Amino acid sequence: MSTVVETHDHGHHGPAKGLSRWLFTTNHKDIGTLYLWFSFIMLFIGGSMAMVIRAELFQPGLQIVQPEFFNQMTTNHGLIMVFGVIMPAFVGLANWMLPIQIGAPDMALPRLNNLSFWLLPMAFGILISTLFMPEGGPNFGWTFYAPLSTTYAPSTVNFFIFSVHVMGVSSILGSINIITTIFNMRAPGMTLMKMPLFVWSWLITAYLLIAVMPVLAGVVTMMLMDINFGTSFFNAAGGGDPVLFQHVFWFFGHPEVYIMILPAFGIVSHIIETFSRKPIFGYSSMVYAMASIAILSFVVWAHHMFTVGMPLAGELFFMYSTMLIAIPTGVKVFNWVATMFRGSITFETPMLFSIAFVALFTIGGFSGLMLAIVPADFQYHDTYFVVAHFHYVLVPGALFGIIAGAYYWLPKWTGNMYDETLGKLHFWLTFISVNVTFFPMHFVGLAGMPRRYPDYALQFADFNALISVGAFMFGLTQLLFLFIVIKTIRSGKQATPEVWEGAGDLGLEWTLSSPPPYHSFTVQPQVK
Amino acid sequence: MAYIKKVLAKFIFVMPLFFSSLVFSESSDYNMPIGVTEVSESIFELHMVIFWICVAIGVIVFSIMFWSLWKYRKSKGAVAADFDDNLWLEIGWTVAATLVLVWMAVPATQVMVEAYDDAEGEINILITGHQWKWHYEYLEDEVGFFSNLSTSQEQIDGEVPKGEFYLKEVDEPLVIPTNTRVRFLITGNDVIHSWWVPDFAVKQDAIPGFINTAWTNVPEPGIFRGACTELCGIKHAFMPVVVRAVEREEFDAFIAEKVTLAEAERLLTSKNWTKEELMERGEQFYQTNCAACHQAGGQGIPPVFPALAGSQVALSDSAKHIQILMEGVQGSAMAAFGESYSEIDIASVITYTRQAWDNGEKGDGVIVTPQDIVAYKNRIDL
Ligand code: HEM
Ligand SMILES: [Cu+2]
């Protein structure tokens, strides 16, 4: 099975010098670093857009920006956070950690790996450049419902379509690489059911990506045809169907939301077992839960469309199937709690973020369950209640998973321990501000404030001011994170190979030096 | 005893207490409004049931978690056990989760069946979403009107204080009778909108090419305010829904008046209009229906919304001008106004835009009359 892994000593093992190291690199660690920095930069770009949104919403009335710019901000904020921050960060972590966790010297397809990274700056360069064009950038929401995004869109929508295509190619190539690596390059003895959970989570995620990215490509291509070549896929006047757009989009979109959470499940599983000093509870049920979430995610898409006027049977079907997803999700939460139960727990920064992940992601799961109840969703849909829901699963969910992973593996990557005091400060500021920002959104949503509004009625004013304060605090706090990361790269207490007490038995990554050699596992490890 | 335990549980867990106390209050400042119809009340109850089930699960899971974190701290000398599975426990909680979901699904299905009912109404109203206003048409009586935001731009820009119903007021609300089954047929004219009245628990997307249905039956008179909830472009936040429910007699009088007005309007079409009359009516129409895009001074927001001041069409091509108003412009935000407005409105706004902002001096200043629009409608060059 793992015959590919045969390395010779070439005598030149270091990276190339200067810019060409990064442009032409085929090394999984370098590419992982590129992905992670890219995602970090996009976090600040997408984050500044959120700051513009919150500044405008601080008070009722139009003060800072006009609605047309406001809509461009909400749209690009969503697109950048989803496709430019969460997804690339997970791919970066996969690049760094998958080969090391399965005992491989590199990814299976290193040149492809370089290409899939460098497509991303191109895609986002195109997307962001539209903001500076006379007609302005995409302004139809990150879900770009037709016909607002076709017949009624600014002409820069063509750049948007191209950019989505490029992102899709990048994701598909990355997924092919990951699947190939996992299936062909595991160390001898590492059977599928012995793989670390992060590897499992990415294997499943990569299949989801390959299944749904072409669907996204299909829907934007149909848009392109409608806009430029006179077809009427989504144009009712020409016999088309605007609702078809939503079905195709959400057939991509719902698996996409699981693409954004499964790798985080993998990361926090590792962190919780490390700092509870106890093996993860229910390893195999963790794997089965992720697989069933992935499969179910293909049959729930219309829960985003409960108000488009589906027949009763359709509404009920999508309600029941969505509720079913709560079972495997619940099983995962129970397993994490059972791992902590009777452990020997310490509270380093990665653990703090993971505990917060479990608690706050669960709150997002509860609101998800409420949203699945069709009649109640008639009231919740397209209000801030939905905004609260998906921010709870994406910020203290996916993003906390990424931050936790960064703290957990940073000493391994750089060879230096991060500053624990600053890390804890970062955690507490982030934890408080995230809740101040997103918790009140439940209330404004229930009270009736629709989403994507640049201006609102007076009854929502107090909560909105509070939300904005929380958001500014959250934004500023992430500068502290940037500082901590840079500080760790440049200095810090030398990290041991196992980094965390007892981690030596937990995975192959902790058997390598910190930082690991540029080419790791030149001698293939054995897994018992 | 059980009661004491319940109270204790509440006090120990600050977080659930925090939000339960907020949400428990039936104030619609932080909770879903109970609304005024049977359906909205059922939905509110369902929402609270599901909410409390979630709170209960949360209290159980989080208390075990935080208790473990506290009890098994390493700093307290906790030594890790080393079990890593327990089949019966795992089967147990999977079954328990399933049962809880079934417990939620039963009332959810009942309320859904109650809310979903597309039998005909006694009164049927066609609701059409336009960028950015609602049009209401009473199908039995063949009368209709537009409902526009009535909050002034000065309030939005903060030049004058904001009124009590800031962004929740319209020039002409939809009027419906109480204690009558009213059916809404909802569609969109341009992009997708969504018509929402929280107090009726009615939210339906208004989709071009589709007609969705919803219904309500309001027991008490009152004014109910809602919103557009599907992103529909620049003025998405500025097309509220206001519904006035009135007793049956008042409703009948309202309809009778509308019918008389429509009759009078038809007579007016054949009268000879002076330029001044057309200008006056046209300016009013322009400010309510056109200024959102083309701006009050006719300067537009190029390149998306072209300027009308100094435009070639407005200066020298009255035939094209009529055609654009009647048919709209394919592939742009310019709607076909001819479908939804009277000949008088169309003629007067064309006349107005051909005269205003020096267009009259610079261009041919042609005056378009309602008869011209009738002629356009009856033309045979199709
Ligand atoms: C227990 C699990 C979950 C359930 C039952 C659930 C259910 C739902 C439902 C019913 C909606 C549609 C609400 C509406 O528009 O009216 C929704 C929206 C959404 N959910 Fe979830 N969800 C769950 C977990 C997640 C996770 C894990 C993520 C991502 C990491 C996620 C991300 C989103 C997003 C992004 C939206 C909003 C999309 C939009 O309209 O912009 N959800 N969810
Ligand atoms: Cu979904």
**E strand or H helix at A24:** helix A19-24
Give me the pLDDT at residue A6, please. Answer: 44
Instruction: Please give the distance of CA A406 from its chain centroid, rounded to a whole number.
Output: 14
Alpha helices in B13-81 (DSSP H): 14-24, 38-71
Mean pLDDT of A281-291: 95
Residue A289 has pLDDT above 60, yes or no: yes
- The number of CA neighbours under 13 Å toward the Cβ of A416 is 13
CA dist., res. A81 & res. A474, Å (int): 15
**DSSP string computed for A506-522:** T-GGGGS-SSPPSS--S
Closest residue by Cα to atom 34, ligand 1, is A390
Q: How many residues does chain A have?
A: 528
Predicted confidence at residue B12, as pLDDT, reads 41
Task: Fill in the amino acid letter for A153.
Answer: A
| Chain A contact set for B128 (CB, 8 A) | none
Q: How far is CA B242 from the centre of its chain?
A: 9
Tokens 């009529």, residue? B322
DSSP state, residue B241: E
Nearest residue to A265 via CA among A186, A346, A204, A175: A204
pTM of the model: 0.88
From the CA of A78, give the closest atom in ligand 1: 41
Mean pLDDT, residues A154-170: 96
CA nearest neighbour of A307 among B133, B36, B35, B201 = B201
Report every protein residue that has its C-beta within 5 angstroms of ion ligand 2: A 254
Q: Does the C-beta of A143 come closer than 6 Å to ligand 1?
A: yes
Q: Strands of B133-138's sheet, edge to edge?
A: B143-147, B133-138, B123-130, B182-188, B212-216
Distance CA B169, CA B149 (A): 6
In angstroms, rounded to a whole number, what is the distance separating the alpha carbons of residues B207 and B193? 7
CA separation for the pair B298, B312 (Å, rounded): 13
Say whether B81 and A282 touch across the interface (CB within 8 A).
no
What does the alpha-carbon distance between residue B245 and residue A365 come to, in Å, rounded to a whole number?
38
CB contact under 8 A, B74 and A446: no
Which two tokens mark B271?
A: 């009268």
Question: Element (H or E) spanning B246, and its range?
Answer: strand B241-246
- Distance (Å, whole) CA A93 – CA A267: 9
Tell how far the Cα of A239 is from the centroid of ligand 2, in angstroms. Answer: 28
Residue nearest to atom 6 of ligand 1 (CA): A368
Of all residues in chain A, the percent with pLDDT exceeding 90 is: 91
Q: Return all residues near B170 (Cβ < 8 A) that are at least 6 apart.
A: B147, B148, B149, B150, B240, B241, B242
CA atoms of B358 and B313, how far apart (whole Å): 14
pLDDT at residue number B25: 52
| ipTM given for this complex | 0.91
For helices B2-12 and B14-24, give the axis angle rounded to 10 degrees. Answer: 100
In DSSP notation, B111-176 reads HHHHH---PPPSEEEEEEEETTEEEEEETTTTEEEEE-B-S-HHHHTTSSPPPTTTTS-BSS-EEE
CB contacts of A304 in chain B (<8 Å) are none
Catalytic-labelled residue, pool A30, A56, A226, A256: A256
DSSP state of A395: I
Spatial strand order of the sheet with B202-206 comes to B174-177, B241-246, B222-228, B193-197, B202-206
CB of A304 closer than 6 angstroms to any ligand 1 atom = yes
| Residue contact B237–A71, C-beta within 8 A | no
Q: Could you give phi then psi for residue B57, rounded to 5 degrees?
A: -60, -45
Q: pLDDT at position B340, please?
A: 75
Consecutive 10-residue runs of chain B (382 residues): their mean pLDDT?
44 47 61 92 94 95 95 89 88 94 95 86 93 94 92 92 94 95 94 96 95 94 96 95 96 93 79 84 89 87 84 86 85 76 88 88 84 79 50
Which one of A389, A441, A451 would you pick to mutate in the ligand 1 pocket, going by the greatest count of ligand atoms within 8 A of its CB? Answer: A389
What is the Å distance from ligand 2's center to A322 Cα? 8
Tokens of A428: 């507490």
> In degrees rounded to 5, what are phi and psi of residue B128?
-120, 125
| CA terminus-to-terminus distance, chain A | 16
**C-alpha closest to that of A147 among A78, A240, A209:** A240
**Residue pair A447/A459 in contact by the 8 Å Cβ criterion:** yes
Where residue A13 falls among pLDDT bands split at 50, 70, 90? low
The answer on pLDDT for A481 being more than 70 is yes
Residue pointed to by tokens 């949360």:
B58
Q: How many separate helices (H) and strands (E) can be counted in chain B?
A: 13, 10
Q: Which amino acid is at A408?
A: Y
- For residue A152, the distance in angstroms to the closest alpha carbon of chain B comes to 6
Cβ–Cβ gap B47/A370 under 8 Å:
yes
Q: Is residue A329 annotated as part of the catalytic site, yes or no?
A: yes
As a whole number of angstroms, the distance between CA A199 and CA A193 comes to 11
Is any ligand 1 atom within 6 A of the Cβ of residue A436?
no
Residues B29, A280: C-beta atoms closer than 8 Å: no
Query: For B72, which of A344, A453, A456 is closest by C-beta distance?
Result: A344
User: What CA dihedral angle connects B123, B128, B133 and B139, to 10 degrees?
Assistant: -30
H helices, E strands: number in chain A: 17, 0
**Residue B372 corresponds to which amino acid?**
D
CB B117 within 8 A of CB B182: no
The structure tokens listed for A509 are 């990554």
Mean pLDDT across chain A, nearest whole number?
94
B272 Cα to chain A: minimum distance (Å):
36
Which of B43, B64, B78 lies nearest to residue A375, judging by beta carbons?
B43
Confidence of residue A5 (pLDDT cuts 50, 70, 90): very low
Residue nearest to atom 12 of ligand 1 (CA): A304
Which of the residue ranges A159-163, A443-447, B294-298, B364-368 would you say has the lowest mean pLDDT? B364-368
pLDDT for B380? 60
Q: Would you say the CB of residue A208 lies under 6 angstroms from ligand 1?
A: no
A378–B202 C-beta distance less than 8 A: yes
Closest CA to A117 of A46, A173, A181, A76: A173
CB B278 within 8 A of CB B352: yes
Confirm whether A116 is a catalytic residue.
no
> What distance in Å separates the CA atoms of residue A164 and residue A76, rounded to the nearest whole number?
12
| The pLDDT of residue A8 | 47
| Cα–chain center distance at B351 | 32
Which pLDDT band holds residue A9 (cuts at 50, 70, 90)?
Answer: very low
Q: Taking a C-beta distance cutoff of 8 angstroms, is the pair A269, A279 a contact?
A: no
- For A172, what's the count of Cα atoms within 13 Å in the CB-facing half-sphere? 14
Nearest CA to ligand 1 atom 19: A390
pLDDT surpasses 90 at A158: yes
Please check whether residue B153 touches A, CB under 8 A.
no
Report the residue from B162, B230, B304 with minimal CB separation from A154: B304
Contact A340 B227 (CB under 8 A): no
> Which among B108, B19, B54, B43 has a CA at the least distance from the CA of A366?
B54
Per-residue pLDDT, B331: 64
**Which of the 8 DSSP states describes residue B205?**
E
